[in-house]
Amino acid sequence: MSGANRIAGQGRLTPAKTARFTFDGKTYHALEGDTVASALLANGVHLVGRSFKYHRPRGILSAGPEEPNALIDVSRDAARRQPNVRAPVQEVFDGMKVESQNRWPSLAFDIGGVNNLLSPFFAAGFYYKTFMWPKAAWEKVYEPFIRKAAGLGVSPTEDDPDHYANRYAHCDVLVAGAGVAGLSAALAAAEAGARVILVDEQPEVGGALHFDTSVKIDGQNGYDWAQATAAKLKAMENVTVLTRTTAFGYYNHNFVGLVERVTDHLPKPDKKLPRERLWQVRAKRVILATGSIERHMVFANNDRPGIMLASAARTYLNHFGVAVGRKVGVYTASDSAYEAAFDLKRAGVTIAAIVDNREKPGEAVLAEARKLGIEVLTGHSVVDTKGKLRVSAMSVARNGGGSARWIPIDALLMSAGWTPSVHLFSQSRGKVAYDAASGRFLPGTYAQDCLSVGSCNGTDGLQATIEESLAAGELMARATGNENGVKVELRGESAFEWTGGMAGAGEGAGADTTVKAFVDFQNDVCAKDIRLAVREGMHSIEHIKRFTTNGMATDQGKLSNIHGLAIASEVLNREIPKIGLTTFRAPYTPVTFGALISHSRGALFDPARKTPMHAWEEAHGAVFEDVGNWKRAWYYPRSGETMHDAVNRECRTVRNVAGLFDASTLGKIEVVGPDAEVFMNLMYTNAWDTLKPGRCRYGIMLREDGFVYDDGVVGRLSQDRFHVTTTTGGAPRVMHHMEDYLQTEFPHLKVWLTSTTEQWAVIAVQGPKAREILEPLVEGIDISNEAFPHMSVREGQICGVPTRLFRMSFTGEAGYEVNVPADYGQAVWEAIWARAEPLGACAYGTETMHVLRAEKGYIIVGQDTDGTVTPHDASLSWAVSKKKTDFVGIRGLKRPDLVKEGRKQLVGLLTKDPNVVLEEGAQIVADPNQPKPMTMLGHVTSSYWSENCGRSIALALVAGGQARLGQTLYVPMPDRTIAVEVSDMVFVDKEGGRLNG
């Protein structure tokens, strides 16, 4: 039922447990534990995809994450769809829908296949040489065509309904890979008492033991030993075993990223489970036991469906019980492929021949082949294949150009030997070294506290691997302070030791040929493309990679890198290490964005900060604006009001009656200590020694370079205590700035800084009736005009709770800012509102605040200044002490360009037509008729309709602005030019009498 190619008695899956899935609309049966690849092969399906450039038919090449061809689209439902999934990695679950990719209209008949016929034209790098004429055609014609033809899978189009999780973990020893080496190392480390995390990308541990059935460990079948060892490790308290988990990135200071696939194999996952879990592990030591990956042979038409890695065929047979063909050829340069032939032969499959390009294969495998009656053609090569949608024959010839003969087959297994997986080692910034004897790049110089063991370290032989791994496990455990443990010993036996291996193009695909011998399957890079790149001067492996795209596909060159290097090496007649290896980059295999993001989405992407009065504001219809990560009440529209209407009403009401404004977002810092005054003198331009307790002052803070950094009103509560306010966005950086100077430049000062932004709720009550509103609520403070004049601060009580009450104004009206402990903010606000509302006052938002302060010419740092403005530019020279010998910015301010004539200065602008409101950001010129590029004098920083003035008002930074008062300048807009007159910055109550009302 689960496929005609399933061989009874083979494999480890349970025949009774089945699942159904569809592939391109057709239903297939699978066994529980099948991958999509094994299930399709069991059903005789080899054609599963199309290549990137030539759209050639492609099958399943591997049984692991190195798969370049069998990339599929997997969906559970419309929103849970995933492109570019590796068929040999994806486990089948009941009800899954699988679609092939990069083909139209169908996989078997793909129009894009015409590219294959045109391939002589599409040589590597051809696009650099053409599509240049006519000039506009690249963007309009050629590029869209190329983009459409490329690209493999189709992006999801809906938001992902699944969720993801994130964990941080610490351990003594992290072991990446749970084959023989990883399990041995983990066991030794764990028994020595170390806290161990063992990870493996497959559903079960075992690594190569999945296919290598000739291995015995301590007398037990290798795969069974692996499962038993994993079970033993899982039972230990100091060990975490994670399967379906890929160690994808090795970062600084032994920080390793893992991604655990939690539900993608389950038919009906529990909704509470995350789809994937990101583990961010800080390991004291890391053991890399990442194994090695078999290489393919490079020969003409080596890409037909049915041609695959020998070890993959062994996995499909020995683990999944699937025969990948009935008449199978083998083409190899390594002993390892022989064992695939042996296993298949014993399972009843016909082996057409083993074609070995070596004259002298290993004697043991040769003897076994003879014993099993398998024909071995040594010194021969496969030089071509046939078969439209699946391989049907191989052409075999004696090396050196003998006549070729066609041998019919329905599958071809190949092996060019094994490439150690040094990806994580290399990511850790270790330097690989080329071992010429074995033709492998192996770990050379280590950069972090890690060790490589087993075949990723170039260690051949089972017992050697075991002993190296046990020793590494023990060593790493000891290195992390675990001394008391038990020593582990293991004994392994395997049937054959493997020899051989080759890199580069094989017979019939040499320099004089134009055949398609694929090096990188997915990107359709052939041996001849590498040679072309070299011919064109691309001599660095990075240039070759970028010119041909070799190794740039989703498998990131796991199969192709070494072949590419070897071919370049041959053409350049230069040793492989002289050409270099491209840098391995994370991730080892692609990682879902969702897993990397984890919880950081929606409301948790950047948690919104809300003031204590937020709920009241919301209930009273406030529209909010984002300011930094705060939500601030912007304006309070009443029924039928536009924003403009609401703001005009609020502006009128505040000037005529009073208004309540939530100023809680302003930053607040408590500066305390015997040297607080000295410190304030250093941090702000103003002179603080003249400020008496109970009084306030507007302060300006500069950066050392002399530009305005922040501003705010500072209240002096006592000789040694200042209540400093900052801009909303500036609070954290001002605190940091102050701490920096206090700790590192002025550490002799006895001053303590405390951020109190979130401790105080701040209610501004502004307007002619402000005092009337507040008076009955305040206890212990005489708030009469005489006792409590403008720019004063007192401590007392309001509504029975403690308050710091400021007499200050950002509106130009008489006003107060009521600071109360945050928890009482809303209660006090409501109490004040209960008095204010009957008097005709309103609540107002940030927009009205902006208009009212602009009417008074009060600046907003960050809007009217931009980090290039000095206090003098902003007409704030009065706030810069001339007596002080030091404050931050004192020297920067004196630099030649900061004292030059003609700097941009803040001024007021009045449009000649009072009804025209300038656009904020609009540019100002003296001559609107000049050609472009125009000489721009500055820009409009703030601009509003002022209901109180009955006209528009604006602030602007204008070159030499102070000297231009009364001049007419122009603001050229796309549709008209607006004439403006330069004015001072105060538009309402120029004498400031209202402040004292």
Partner 1 sequence: MRKYSVFAVAREAMRGHKGWEAQWTSPEPRKEYDVIIVGGGGHGLGAAYYLAKEHGITNVAVIEKGWLGGGNTGRNTTIIRSNYLYDESMDIYEHSLKLWEGLSQDLNYNVMYSPRGVMMLSHNVHDKQSFSRHIHANRLYGIDNEWLTPQQAKDFVPVLDISASARYPINGAALQRRGGTARHDAVAWGYARAASDRGVHVIQNCEVKGIRRGPDGAVTGVETSKGFIGAKKIAVSASGHNSVILSMADVKLPLHSVPLQALVSEPMKPIFPCVVMSNSVHAYISQSDKGELVIGAGTDQYNSYSQTGGLQIITHTLDAICELFPMFRRVKMMRQWGGITDNTPDRSAIQGVTPVKNLFVNCGWGTGGFKATPGSAHLFAHLIAKGEPHKLAAGLTLDRFRTGRLIDEAAAAAVAH
Partner 2 sequence: MLLIYCPYCEEERSELEFRHGGDAHIARPTNIADVTDEAFEEYFFLRDNPKGLIFERWRHIHGCGRFFNAARDTVSDKFYLTYKAGEPKPVIPGVSPATEKTVETYEATEGTAK
Q: Which residues neighbour 197 within 8 Å (Cβ) at sequence distance 6 or greater?
A: 169, 171, 173, 174, 175, 239, 240, 242, 281, 283
3-state secondary structure at position 7: coil
- Order of strands, sheet of 667-672, starting from the edge strand that comes earlier in the sequence: 696-702, 708-718, 721-726, 667-672, 752-755
Contact positions with partner 2 (CB under 8 A) in 445-464: 447
> Which partner, partner 1, partner 2, none, binds residue 600 by CB below 5 to 8 Å per kind?
partner 1
Residue 91 or 710: which CB sits closer to partner 1? 710
886 is a contact residue toward partner 2 (CB under 8 A): yes
How far apart are the C-alpha atoms of 541 and 795, rounded to whole Å? Answer: 73
Instruction: Figure out which of the listed residues 9, 120, 219, 966 binds partner 1, where binding follows CB under 8 A.
Output: 120
CB 648 to partner 2: min, Å: 44
> What CA–CA distances, in Å, run from 649 to 71, 386, 656, 829, 846?
63, 83, 10, 21, 14
Q: Prior bond to 933 cis, omega within 30?
A: yes
Q: Which of 399, 392, 417 is nearest to 297 (CA)?
A: 417
Q: How many CB atoms within 10 Å of residue 718?
A: 11
CB 151 to partner 1: min, Å: 3
- In which residue are the tokens 């000789």 written? 719
Residue 375 or 739: which CB sits closer to partner 2? 739
Instruction: Figure out which of the listed residues 379, 729, 796, 997 binds partner 1, where binding follows CB under 8 A.
Output: 729
| Mask for 813-852, x = binds partner 1 (CB under 8 A) | ----------------------------------------
User: Residue type at 371?
Assistant: K
881 is a contact residue toward partner 1 (CB under 8 A): no
Residue 148 or 736: which CB sits closer to partner 2? 736
Angle between helices 527-535 and 561-572 (to 10 degrees): 50
Residue 29 or 546: which CB sits closer to partner 1? 546
Instruction: Figure out which of the listed residues 607, 838, 896, 933 binds partner 2, where binding follows CB under 8 A.
Output: 896
> Which partner, partner 1, partner 2, none, binds residue 736 by CB below 5 to 8 Å per kind?
partner 2
Q: Which of 772, 757, 859, 760 is nearest to 815 (CA)?
A: 772
Q: Prior bond to 587 cis, omega within 30?
A: yes
Contact positions with partner 2 (CB under 8 A) in 673-712: 704-705
Residue 301 or 426: which CB sits closer to partner 2? 426
Per-residue exposure over 820-854, b if at least 16 CB sit within 10 Å of its own CB, e if not: bebebbbbbbebbbebbeeeebbbbbbbbbbbbbb
3-state secondary structure at position 646: helix
892 is a contact residue toward partner 2 (CB under 8 A): yes
- In which residue are the tokens 């550490």 written? 747
Contact positions with partner 2 (CB under 8 A) in 729-758: 736, 739-740, 743-745, 747-748
Specify burial of residue 163 (Cβ count, 10 A radius: 0-12, 13-18, 19+): middle
> What CA–CA distances, in Å, run from 829 to 111, 715, 728, 909?
71, 22, 20, 37
Q: Which stretch binds partner 2 (CB under 8 A): 105-113, 214-222, 252-260, 863-871?
A: 252-260
Residue 923 or 967: which CB sits closer to partner 1? 923
Contact 527, 517 (CB under 8 A): yes
Residue 74 or 774: which CB sits closer to partner 1? 74
> Which partner, partner 2, partner 1, none, binds residue 898 by CB below 5 to 8 Å per kind?
partner 1
Instruction: Figure out which of the listed residues 537, 838, 950, 966 binds partner 1, where binding follows CB under 8 A.
Output: 537
Residue 628 or 914: which CB sits closer to partner 1? 628
245 is a contact residue toward partner 1 (CB under 8 A): no
How far apart are the C-alpha atoms of 441 and 576, rounded to whole Å? Answer: 10
- In which residue are the tokens 């997915």 written? 522
How far apart are the C-alpha atoms of 471 and 480, rounded to whole Å? Answer: 14
> Which partner, partner 2, partner 1, none, binds residue 478 by CB below 5 to 8 Å per kind?
none
Instruction: Figure out which of the listed residues 114, 372, 486, 936 binds partner 1, where binding follows CB under 8 A.
Output: 936
> Which partner, partner 2, partner 1, none, binds residue 463 by CB below 5 to 8 Å per kind?
none
Q: Which stretch binds partner 1 (CB under 8 A): 21-29, 179-187, 334-342, 888-896?
A: 888-896
606 is a contact residue toward partner 2 (CB under 8 A): no
How far apart are the C-alpha atoms of 439 and 99, rounded to whole Å? Answer: 39
CB 892 to partner 2: min, Å: 7
Residue 449 or 919: which CB sits closer to partner 2? 449
> Which partner, partner 1, partner 2, none, binds residue 885 by CB below 5 to 8 Å per kind?
partner 2
User: Residue type at 156?
Assistant: P
375 is a contact residue toward partner 2 (CB under 8 A): no
Residue 552 or 879: which CB sits closer to partner 1? 552
How far apart are the C-alpha atoms of 338 and 324, rounded to whole Å? Answer: 15
Structure tokens at 34: 């099948």
252 is a contact residue toward partner 2 (CB under 8 A): yes
Quick one: how far is CA 496 from the chain centroid?
Answer: 45
Site size toward partner 1, by CB under 8 A: 120
Q: Which residues neighbour 749 within 8 Å (Cβ) at sequence distance 6 or greater?
A: 673, 675, 678, 679, 742
Return the bridge partners of 170, or none: 282
Q: How many CB atoms within 10 Å of residue 104?
A: 12
Contact 30, 39 (CB under 8 A): yes
> Which partner, partner 1, partner 2, none, binds residue 704 by CB below 5 to 8 Å per kind?
partner 2
Contact positions with partner 2 (CB under 8 A) in 262-291: 280, 282
234 is a contact residue toward partner 1 (CB under 8 A): no
105 is a contact residue toward partner 1 (CB under 8 A): no
Q: Which stretch binds partner 1 (CB under 8 A): 13-21, 167-175, 547-555, 905-913?
A: 547-555
Residue 315 or 685: which CB sits closer to partner 2? 685
CB 943 to partner 1: min, Å: 10
Contact positions with partner 1 (CB under 8 A) in 947-976: 972-974
Instruction: Figure out which of the listed residues 123, 890, 910, 926 binds partner 2, where binding follows CB under 8 A.
Output: 890
How long a stretch of residues is the chain?
A: 997
Residue 2 or 246: which CB sits closer to partner 1? 246
Contact positions with partner 1 (CB under 8 A) in 443-482: none
> Which partner, partner 2, partner 1, none, binds residue 138 by CB below 5 to 8 Å per kind?
partner 1
Quick one: how far is CA 565 from the chain centroid?
Answer: 30
251 is a contact residue toward partner 2 (CB under 8 A): yes
Structure tokens at 688: 């603080």
Contact positions with partner 1 (CB under 8 A) in 563-602: 583, 585-587, 590-594, 596-598, 600-602
How far apart are the C-alpha atoms of 326 and 445, rounded to whole Å? Answer: 47
How far apart are the C-alpha atoms of 844 and 661, rounded to whole Å? Answer: 5
| Mask for 914-933, x = binds partner 2 (CB under 8 A) | --------------------
3-state secondary structure at position 126: helix
Phi, psi of 455 (to 5 degrees): -70, -20
Residue 291 or 706: which CB sits closer to partner 1? 706
> What CA–CA distances, in Å, run from 167 to 170, 200, 599?
10, 17, 11
Question: Footprint of partner 2 on this chain (CB under 8 A)?
Answer: 251-255, 280, 282, 429, 447, 704-705, 736, 739-740, 743-745, 747-748, 885-886, 890-892, 894-896
